[in-house]
Structure 1
Amino acid sequence: METTIFPTPARIGFLSANRPMSRCFQPKYGRFAVVSVMTPSTSTNSTLKTEATNSYNIATTTTNTIYNDNWFDRIAIDYLSKAIQDTTGMRNEKNGYESFVVATRDVFRSFDPTEQRKLVMKALQNAIPTPISFLVKTMMPPSKFSREYFATFTTIFFPWLVGSCEVRESEFEGSIERNVVHIKKCRVLESTNCAGICTNLCKIPSQEFIKSSFGIPCNMVPNFDDMSCEMIFGQNPPTLQDDPAFKQPCYKLCNVKHKHDTSCLPKPLEDIKSNRD
């Protein structure tokens, strides 16, 4: 096995009284990508590949991103982790991002899909008080400005949660807007290797929270092949029955697979159907 470390430059924040607020603060964010390529000793090919079977993905190589969380990142991580633990009443003794990951795994293992989404929604509402979200919703009704603002805000203040991300353009009602957040490799998905945690504890609650709290639709489109994701502000997500994310089997290396089989996702769909019946 060969291991290569590729350093990437840190993004250094700045303050400027003459710039818009969305650009006034950028947390320091540096990382090292550690790429371990498992190949026969006689091979010189280091191309990253991912093979898939009918039931789950088998990673022939592993890529682990090491994050150097700064003071802002650590405060935000601890705050969200504590909000989840306070909501569920399930404590853990871990620190930093590991504490957040353990908190999400505890929710996934202990509650059914409907309860999972409700608990995460409640945790998000506790983390961002209603008066704040109501003020933002009132001052920023749906518009090109608000959609682009939310996209920019996400890339500045939430890399600690989802990893490196950037704003991209898309067509919205016949015009081009910068309303898409492209997450290069989701930190949550990489940390858990679980499609069920991605959909039930991140995608669905986040979409519902953004819509109900800020009045703007958001469709999160995960790519389980490369662990990237797109948040499309202004776009309504499909129904759960039609959402491709709920047809994706889980990873062979899923860190919570003892709770479920090779697929995390049939149960949520069955749960939805039973509720409607």
Structure 2
Amino acid sequence: MEASHFLQGSRFVTTTMARPRHVHERNKLPRCSIIAVLTTPADNMNIATDTIPAGAAIEEKRVYKDNWFDRMAINHLSQNVQAATRLRNNKSGYESLVEAATVASRKFNPEKQRELVLQALDTAFPKPVFSLLRTILPESKFAREYFAIFTTIFFAWLVGPCEVKESEINGRKEKNVVYIKKCRFLEESNCVGMCLNMCKVPSQSFIKTSLGTPVNMVPNFDDMSCEMIFGQNPPEISNDPALKQPCYKLCKVNRRHNSNDCSK
């Protein structure tokens, strides 16, 4: 009930009236569940970070701003790969290099792919320079560290930003590891098979033959990073863990890669 007071002539009148039920119900707050606040926001964030790896899938693709030297080196290597495979394309820049590798990976088996890349590397890089380096820099701690530094300076256009890291070899510490934060070639090709057959395996063989120093390339297919360990012999192809990895679900080469292919 609700009371109201007003003056009518000389009399003071008081009236009462009932509040409509619908007004009371309209102003009534709706019920709500409080289960969601039983866990603190901090706890929720911890659960999220534990279940979703840092940088997984949501990380944006790196944009490269190649300078004149980068473009010249990319074009030179791309042209040599196309010449070795006899498969030409009309693309330019890094896209041309990836296209040349992609077409070759579709047309040739893994063994032939490695052979063609070795042929392209032999023609792309001057043999007299490598012969000279091999003569003046026989395998040693100094040579391994020199090659690691050289790679980070002159081959970032091919693999992306990288840095020298330390490892233990022959019982002592050396700065003989090139750590590639996110391999440009793997990111662009998005194919494990291309990484292995058109980069890792032929590059290991080329460096060993040209510089006289073994190198083991250890890709991480979860975050697309890679380590080039100078002075470490790579395992045999049949025993290399990297060559037993399945390809990505979104492989640009239609997921043709498997462990059996790599052992051919």
TM-score normalised by the chain length of structure 2: 0.78
Q: CA RMSD in A?
A: 2.0
1:64-120 CA distance string (max 9 Å, x none)? 111011111111100110111111111100010000000110111111111100000
**Higher share of residues assigned strand:** 1
Inter-partner Cα distance in structure 1 for 2:121 and 2:181: 23
Matched, 1:49 2:43: no
Contact 1:218–1:233 (CA under 8 A) maintained in structure 2: yes
Q: 1:157, 1:85 → 2: CA distance? A: 22
**2:89–2:96 CA contact under 8 A, matched in 1:** yes
CA separation in 2, counterparts of 1:192 and 1:265? Answer: 18
Counterpart residue type for residue 197 of structure 1: M
**Structure 1 residue 49: Cα displacement:** 3.5
1:90 alignment counterpart: 87
Task: Give the conservation status (yes or no) of the 8 Å contact 1:167–1:181.
Answer: yes
Please name the residue that 1:239 is paired with. 236
Aligned mate of 2:63, from 52, 61, 66: 66
> Are residues 1:267 and 2:255 paired?
no
Closer, same or farther: CA 190–231 of 1 in aligned 2, 3 Å? same
- Provide the C-alpha distance between the structure 2 equivalents of 1:141 and 1:255, rounded to a whole number of angstroms: 40
2:170 pairs, out of 170, 173, 179, with 173
- Alpha-carbon distance change, 106 to 113 in structure 1, aligned in 2, over 3 angstroms: same
User: What do the CA deviations read for 1:33-57 (whole angstroms, capped 9, x no partner)?
Assistant: xxxxxxxxxx999969359xxxxxx
* 1:32 counterpart residue number: none
The reply on whether 1:77 has 2:74 as its aligned counterpart is: yes
Query: Contact 1:50 / 1:61 at 8 angstroms: preserved in 2?
Result: no
Alignment partner of 1:109: what SS? helix
Q: 1:62: how far off?
A: 4.8
Q: Distance in 1 between matches of 2:124 and 2:73?
A: 10
2:106 counterpart of 1:114? no
Among 195, 214, 218, which residue is 2:215 paired with? 218
Q: What secondary structure sits across from 1:226 in the alignment?
A: coil
Q: Hey, what's the Cα distance between the residues in 1 that align with 2:210 and 2:246? A: 31
Distance 2:237 2:249 in 1: 23
- Equivalences for 1:179-190 in 2 at 5 Å? 179-190=176-187
Runs (5+) with no aligned partner, structure 1 = 1-42, 52-58, 272-277
Partner of 2:160: 163
Gaps of 5+ in 2: 1-43
Name the SS of the counterpart of 1:241 in structure 2.
Answer: helix
Q: Distance in 2 between matches of 1:50 and 1:112?
A: 34
Between structure 1 and structure 2, the one with the greater Rg is: 2
SS at match of 2:62: strand
- 2:205 counterpart letter in structure 1: E
How far 1:247 sits from its partner (Å)? 1.3
Give the aligned residue type for 2:234.
Answer: P
Q: Which amino acid counterpart does residue 93 of structure 1 have in structure 2? A: N
1:196 offset after TM fit, Å?
0.3
Q: 1:91 to 1:160 in 2, by over 3 A?
A: same
SS of 2:152's partner is helix
1:124 is matched with 121
1:4 paired residue number = none
The aligned residue for residue 253 of structure 1 is 250
Count, aligned residues: 218
Instruction: Give secondary structure in 1 for the equivalent of 2:179.
Output: strand
Residue 9 of structure 1 is matched in structure 2 by: none
CA drift of 1:129 comes to 2.5
Greater mean alpha carbon deviation, residues 132-141 or residues 198-207: 132-141
CA change 1:67–1:60 in 2 (3 A) is: closer
Percent identity between the two aligned chains: 57
What SS does the aligned partner of 1:131 have?
helix
